[in-house]
Structure 1
Amino acid sequence: MSPWALACFLLLCGPAAVRMIGAAGLAGALPRNTVPCNDDSITLFRVDGVWNYSSMLLREDLGLLLLGAREAVYGLDLRNISRKTAEVQWAVTQDKQAECTDKGKTLMDCWNYIRILHVLKDGRMYVCGTNAFSPTCGYMTYEGGRLSLLSTMEDGKGICPYDPYQRYSSLMVDGALYSATTLNFLGSEPLLLRSLTTALRTEFQAMWLNEPQFVSMVEVPESVGNVEGDDDKVYLFFSEIAVEYDFSSKLAVSRVARVCKKDKGGQRILQKKWTSFLKARLDCPVLESSLPFLVQDVFLWRASDWRNSVFYAVFTPQSASVDLSAVCAYSVTAVGDVFSKGKFKTPVTVETSHTKWVMYSGELPVPRPGACIDNTAKQMGIMTTLDLPDKVLQFVQTQPLMDPAVEPLSGRPLLVKRGAAFTRIVVDRVTALDGQNYTVMFVGTDNGFVQKAVNYDGEMVIIEEMQLFHQPVPIEILRLSVATGQLYAGSSHGAAQVSLSVCGRYRSCLDCVLARDPYCAWNLAEGRCTALPHLQSLQTRNLIQSVKDADASTCPIPETMEPENMTFTTGMSIKLPCQQGSKRAAVHWLKDDQPLNPSDEDYVHEDSLLILRTSAATAGRYECRSVESAKGRKYTATVAVYKLLLNETVNEGKDVKPLPPQPKPRTTGHDLLPLQVPLVALAVTLAVLLAWNLYRGHLCLPGCRRTQESAGSPSSPGQTNPEAAEVSEITLLPNRNINNNHFSVTFAGGMDTTASPRDKRCSVPLQYIDDESEI
């Protein structure tokens, strides 16, 4: 669908279209739980004074995570990244930095930012840095527990970006380095380059690359098991300004391009240029905006047969008026069919001298333009791309754009979420207790969170969101290690590590099952939620899991919770804490087994019951229940039980916990009535005195002059009644973090302090979580 047609469709059917995405993606977009950044399961790494941890290389063979930052590369323990085992410094020289600033760049731009880290066949690492807008590459080794940067350096132009903040992509395949960046200082010559072997690049033409923002590159081994003798492909994902639409302003679209690994360029035309470069529009139809969403990151989930592999991509809007993000999935086979079987677009000049792009309806030259050299081409005597006819090369040189867009699986996004924009994605496939495989997506956001989401036959469930960094910084890189079962993230402020499955967060069988986490199951023998072992060695009779149906009816009935006895005196205020089972649960309070309805004296808070004024009738048994709905069923769990006893009725020797000293109840309007009359009289007196002094000239309004008669000053009015001073209310509450026993002190004036220094590690307040959860 063209943008104009889409705009017209939204104009006529906008409300209905918006409702379409509501059912598809937004229904399950509320995370069930939020994990704060000070959680024990999150491991951080950061060096003071070092920034931009934006390149990563997993060396599972060495047990290392290579982390590239500003002017340094760190070797971290893959299982605990807080342990630094090695490092190497790569600082820019003062001459290079001075040359960079002389060209108009800021000092912040003129450092050496490590942007590229790849492993070579011989075990060495290939590393590139911006080097003060003079890209440079070199070789790095790891021997004897030490990282060493070899003295031999190479020009990194066209391989590494000049600008440390510019989007780029690179991929090392069979000793060849594929890089998508710019070739010049100004960033005006974008290209897809292959280096370290036979060098090839794209043409500097708008119909090839038009102001692109490069995102990701992936290699697909399409030659494996291919009866047609096809070649392996390298796919490039990016966004660019569309050339095929006649808009008054620039319209950006998402693209996927691909080249053949054995491409050697043309003989006379397209010498040292790609002969297999084709591109197509990538569609992710989020229908709340007439403008297409733009791709931000792509992850390839690899199946044992490459034909069953799937691309997962995150998209964000190009309009600031839309705050949705989306995840779309694409079949590798469907993407390949667009290039091998689709139509071509061709530019046509019309009378107004504008260039229109229309579907090419003429006869295609043979072999098919942009195709890899397969068995059919070899039967024609075309053994390499150097043998391709000029007619074929001329066609692909001027018409690299395919006509059909690549559509997502099921024709719609897997996930649509409002709030913080998505930035990165990685995907894992998990075999659950029912024997089925489920796709788990870890999606980074621009405020330092990672969403853990699963799609159950079209039903999207966000199991939890994890705040990885103290600051609301974008997740710039995500890596997943199946070998260690860990997720690694990088940002401008540091790197983070978290396990793919932290089943210990679920404290009860009900909580474990309703989380619908395919990594976890409730172990009846051990009485705790544990990671699901391999099915080959699984004793299923002692495990409970129901990820698809969310059926917790087989959970054992929990033991009756003993009440916590507390004493009180009349006239005080009491706050009884109650931690919700999940963000999707509702809290219900009962008093003496009867539902408690909020009244003037009792107020049900989100995480507590606040009793403003106690009386003799306050005494009784209070029970807090968490009620969560899942798949049409409601599950109730008792979270807290209190027994409040009036102080005068407590017998000696009982195990009773006295309440902490409570402040006097707040002053009401009736209590202030004796003070209101003298205050009104005082106000009238002051008004009369003010008018008299203005009349006599003792006081002067702005712009007037005092006369000589206005000597002296009015006497000071009397002091206000000290009894009218507001009384601060202080209550001691348990901290929301169930992993510790610290208490916080809440003041009525709005100030909140926390007795736990660990809680202060998070400088990001929870409003970021609330904003992200508003669906």
Structure 2
Amino acid sequence: MYVLAVLSVLHLCCSSPATSQDWPLDCTARKTIPYHSDNGRLFREDDVWNYTTVILREDLGLIVLGTRGVIYALDINNINTKKASVKWDVTDTQQTECTYKGKDQEIDCQNYIRILHTIEDGRIFVCGTNAFNPMCDYMNYTEGQLILQNDQEDGKGKCPFDPFQRFSSVWVEGELYSATSMNFLGSEPVVMRGSPEPIRTEFKTSWLNEPNFVFMDHIPEGANSPTGDDDKVYLFFSETAVEYDFYHKLAVSRVARVCKGDLGGQRTLQRKWTSFVKARLECPVLESQLPYLVQDVFRLCPDDDWNSCIFYAVFTPQMDSSDYSAVCAYSMHDIQQVFTEGKFKTPVTVETSFVKWVMFSGDLPTPRPGACIDAEAREQGIQSSLDLPDKTLQFIRDRPLMDQAVQPISSRPLLVKKGAWFLRIVVAPVAALDGATYPVMFIGTDSGSVLKAVDYPADNAADTFIIEEVQLFQSSNAIKILRLSESTGHLLVGSEVGIVQMPLSSCGRYKSCADCVLARDPYCAWDLTSGQCTAISSAQTQAKRKLIQNLQDGDTSLCPPSEKAKMINTSFVMGSNVKLKCELISNLAEATWYRGDNQLAPSDKHHISRDSLVIPNAGSDDAGMYTCWSTEGIAGHVHRRQEAEFKLTLGTEDPIAPQARSASKGLVGLQVLVVFLSLMLGILVGWNFYKGHFPLPCMQKQRQSSIEDSQADVPGVLEPLHCTEDKTTAPAGNSNNNHTDLANTVPVDGHATEESSI
């Protein structure tokens, strides 16, 4: 019954607002760009797979790309230019040992590059799965070459064993923080700092229970902190919930944090985190009772101020029966408040030894469990986590889970969309002509497309607008990684089969002023001087340019009048089906048809679809002027544009259906071929008759007479054929005259003469 209740909610269309909340309405991309090589530059090489690990080295002008067994250095301005590469393969012995673990030799037992981090001295820290035996190394880019130092170290706890297992890592001041598994079975999840004395999580289900790690990042909260707080590392993941009583495993999304200066406890939690706390992450989608699961997170900090940081996250359902995805955003303040002021959950044993998690209502020990060492703790003589009392450490060891969940900004998603599942997200702040900065979201899907959307602030309502959806890969190739290169104005999009460098803006797609303005793309504006839609950055470099952009309302009133659609003359015959085409440039537009000044409504007489008007069994009274108008609603405003105009007249010839026309053309071609062959055959037969190869009866007599004349020393020439019936019967002795032996045949004036033997 519980599942049925959930399914009854999830059937709602994303464009229909829920009754209790104001949901984002514009869940359809305004433009859909089909797969084409012009959508971006593709880099791939034969027999190389898994283009999913990328870092940008703008100081070197490089994109460093990790794949299966190969690391590439590509030109940051043109990904098709390969500057260097280095192989890191596994040996035959390593592959054999990997197969002993029950893994596939050709797929699993390879070296998938999973970690690339730039470290303080300019080198690159790199780790690979190494045939289910993870290893790490250091790499230099010197004199145009990528060089592995072969100074390998154990990668357990840093890099995953399984190349297809989710993990995350971040490099912070000479130390690697990682979230992965400690064994090849994936049954020992760990969040670890790989210092000379590693600090990690406990192997307890109350800490991590079958997690799927998604994102990890460092927040410098200790910088200019009035309380002397410490920096923190935040982790986003999903896991099987321990706090819910459900008849099967129920997964939830989490956010957790640890303190950068955590050294573990003195007796309790030795070499374990003393600051590991986690909370549920909510993203309520259409009142669904089953939690959506986080798939990727991107941190955006305006003006490099960590207090203003916002975490953008994409979510998908944990039931295949739903095809909705969502984007939720979380403020740094709200996350902090849950961890610093929220209550904890505690396990309670009830009858039949069942453990239930409830809110802890008792007094908390001092210092607060899970808190970093701050100025107040130092005043109490606690200089590091090694000085924390056992009571505080025992509490956080048994109760790392917060009772309160972290809610998204405005307690609702920024975007809910039906269709392909969202997998990855990055966000770029873009300064528009109105002086405001807007977050432009690029969202990768499991169908190989990228959505470009903008969150426009609105009063008590969500106004997230999807500008376009661009297909970069074939539909079966899910997007595994997104990276922004704002310095070059590109987005890097990686999948199993290749990596694409896509421009952040493609203003040339908008051919008219209205189309450019209605796109509401912060990157683009209509240039009245050049009469084209252009990128703001390039337009601003030229003085005295008048640009039109209206992001909030999509107001096209400042645009020059649009050209009237060219009238198309169309004739039809009585009783035929007439189809008038009207192509719309926006997925958000609807077609409205008029005959003269009268609007047409769908009926048996007029079949109106998105791109055409069909008049079945047209008669003389259907002749007239027809116009198609597109109607597009943007931010509460309606914009109309004439897209097509037809003059429909009654003709006299029968229409030929496409199939019949095609068959008719084929029949005519066959008839021409038959006539041509017949003519050639007639010429050939006539020529042979003319040459005497096929003599007619009348020619036989003439030939005999000619022979007789030749015997009389008179040259014989075949006369033209004037055949009449010869009723004279040749004497019996002359019956073989046609077999007279002719010594020579000499052409004379194109005719044959026969000379008898002498």
Q: TM-score, normalised by structure 2?
A: 0.80
1:431 aligns with 2:428: no
1:553 aligns with 2:557: yes
Are the structure 2 counterparts of residues 344 and 536 from structure 1 closer, same or farther at C-alpha, using a change threshold of 3 Å?
Answer: farther
Where 1:533 maps in the other structure, the secondary structure is helix
Question: Which position in structure 1 is the counterpart of 2:546?
Answer: 542
Equivalent-residue separation in structure 1 for 2:370 and 2:376 (angstroms):
14
Question: Which position in structure 1 is the counterpart of 2:109?
Answer: 110
Question: Which position in structure 2 is the counterpart of 1:271?
Answer: 270
Where 1:20 maps in the other structure, the secondary structure is coil
CA contact under 8 A between 1:573 and 1:664: conserved in structure 2? Answer: no
Q: How does 1:127-206 map to 2 (within 5 A)?
A: 127-206=126-205
1:375 aligns with 2:378: no
- What is the CA-CA distance between 1:626 and the residue it aligns to? 2.5
Equivalent-residue separation in structure 2 for 1:503 and 1:477 (angstroms):
24
Question: Which position in structure 1 is the counterpart of 2:687?
Answer: none
1:77 aligns with 2:65: no
CA contact under 8 A between 2:9 and 2:288: conserved in structure 1? Answer: no
- What is the CA-CA distance between 1:437 and the residue it aligns to? 2.3
Question: Which position in structure 2 is the counterpart of 1:743?
Answer: none
- Return 38-47 or 439-448, whichever deviates more: 38-47
Gaps of 5+ in 2: 665-758
- What is the CA-CA distance between 1:12 and the residue it aligns to? 11
Equivalent-residue separation in structure 2 for 1:148 and 1:517 (angstroms):
42
Q: Deviations over 1:183-238 (max 9, x none)?
A: 01111100001114542111111111111111110111101221100011100111
CA contact under 8 A between 2:10 and 2:286: conserved in structure 1? Answer: no
Equivalent-residue separation in structure 1 for 2:13 and 2:117 (angstroms):
48
- Return 18-27 or 273-282, whichever deviates more: 18-27
Q: 2:629 aligns with which of 595, 619, 625?
A: 625
Question: Which position in structure 2 is the counterpart of 1:97?
Answer: 95
1:32 aligns with 2:24: no
CA contact under 8 A between 2:325 and 2:417: conserved in structure 1? Answer: yes
- Return 530-539 or 447-456, whichever deviates more: 530-539
Q: Deviations over 1:317-357 (max 9, x none)?
A: 11222221111111111101111111111222223311222
Q: Deviations over 1:700-726 (max 9, x none)?
A: xxxxxxxxxxxxxxxxxxxxxxxxxx7
Q: Deviations over 1:529-553 (max 9, x none)?
A: 1112399979798121111122111
Q: Deviations over 1:287-308 (max 9, x none)?
A: 4432111111111111222111
* Cα RMSD (Å): 3.4
Letter in 2 for 1:229: G
Equivalent-residue separation in structure 1 for 2:384 and 2:612 (angstroms):
73
- Return 426-435 or 232-241, whichever deviates more: 426-435
Letter in 2 for 1:383: Q
1:332 aligns with 2:332: yes
Equivalent-residue separation in structure 2 for 1:643 and 1:576 (angstroms):
10
Question: Which position in structure 1 is the counterpart of 2:470?
Answer: 466
Question: Which position in structure 1 is the counterpart of 2:293?
Answer: 294
Letter in 1 for 2:656: K
Question: Which position in structure 1 is the counterpart of 2:535?
Answer: 531
1:664 aligns with 2:664: no
Letter in 1 for 2:253: S
Where 2:352 maps in the other structure, the secondary structure is coil
- What is the CA-CA distance between 1:470 and the residue it aligns to? 2.2
Where 2:18 maps in the other structure, the secondary structure is helix
Are the structure 2 counterparts of residues 122 and 148 from structure 1 closer, same or farther at C-alpha, using a change threshold of 3 Å?
Answer: same
Are the structure 2 counterparts of residues 303 and 552 from structure 1 closer, same or farther at C-alpha, using a change threshold of 3 Å?
Answer: same
- What is the CA-CA distance between 1:563 and the residue it aligns to? 4.0
Where 1:249 maps in the other structure, the secondary structure is coil
- What is the CA-CA distance between 1:176 and the residue it aligns to? 0.8
CA contact under 8 A between 2:593 and 2:629: conserved in structure 1? Answer: yes
Question: Which position in structure 2 is the counterpart of 1:441?
Answer: 441
Letter in 2 for 1:425: I
Equivalent-residue separation in structure 1 for 2:117 and 2:474 (angstroms):
29
- Return 618-627 or 229-238, whichever deviates more: 618-627
Count matched residues.
658
Equivalent-residue separation in structure 1 for 2:561 and 2:503 (angstroms):
30
CA contact under 8 A between 1:572 and 1:664: conserved in structure 2? Answer: no
Letter in 2 for 1:192: V
Q: Deviations over 1:244-292 (max 9, x none)?
A: 2222321111111100111111122212111111111111112443211
Equivalent-residue separation in structure 1 for 2:365 and 2:601 (angstroms):
79
Where 2:25 maps in the other structure, the secondary structure is helix
Are the structure 2 counterparts of residues 470 and 154 from structure 1 closer, same or farther at C-alpha, using a change threshold of 3 Å?
Answer: same
Percent identity over the alignment is 54
Equivalent-residue separation in structure 2 for 1:445 and 1:388 (angstroms):
46
Q: Deviations over 1:456-515 (max 9, x none)?
A: 222121111111112432111111122122111111121112111111111111111111
Question: Which position in structure 1 is the counterpart of 2:45?
Answer: 47
Gaps of 5+ in 1: 650-661, 667-725, 732-775
Are the structure 2 counterparts of residues 540 and 302 from structure 1 closer, same or farther at C-alpha, using a change threshold of 3 Å?
Answer: farther
Equivalent-residue separation in structure 1 for 2:617 and 2:142 (angstroms):
71
Q: Flag the structure with larger Rg.
A: 2
- What is the CA-CA distance between 1:129 and the residue it aligns to? 1.1
Where 1:246 maps in the other structure, the secondary structure is coil
Letter in 1 for 2:91: T
Are the structure 2 counterparts of residues 48 and 367 from structure 1 closer, same or farther at C-alpha, using a change threshold of 3 Å?
Answer: same
Question: Which position in structure 1 is the counterpart of 2:59?
Answer: 61
Where 2:137 maps in the other structure, the secondary structure is strand
Letter in 2 for 1:235: Y
- What is the CA-CA distance between 1:407 and the residue it aligns to? 1.0
Are the structure 2 counterparts of residues 363 and 10 from structure 1 closer, same or farther at C-alpha, using a change threshold of 3 Å?
Answer: farther
Equivalent-residue separation in structure 1 for 2:44 and 2:478 (angstroms):
16
Question: Which position in structure 2 is the counterpart of 1:501?
Answer: 505
Are the structure 2 counterparts of residues 356 and 135 from structure 1 closer, same or farther at C-alpha, using a change threshold of 3 Å?
Answer: same
1:491 aligns with 2:495: yes
Equivalent-residue separation in structure 2 for 1:11 and 1:630 (angstroms):
30
- What is the CA-CA distance between 1:600 and the residue it aligns to? 8.0
Equivalent-residue separation in structure 1 for 2:20 and 2:453 (angstroms):
17
Equivalent-residue separation in structure 2 for 1:211 and 1:518 (angstroms):
41
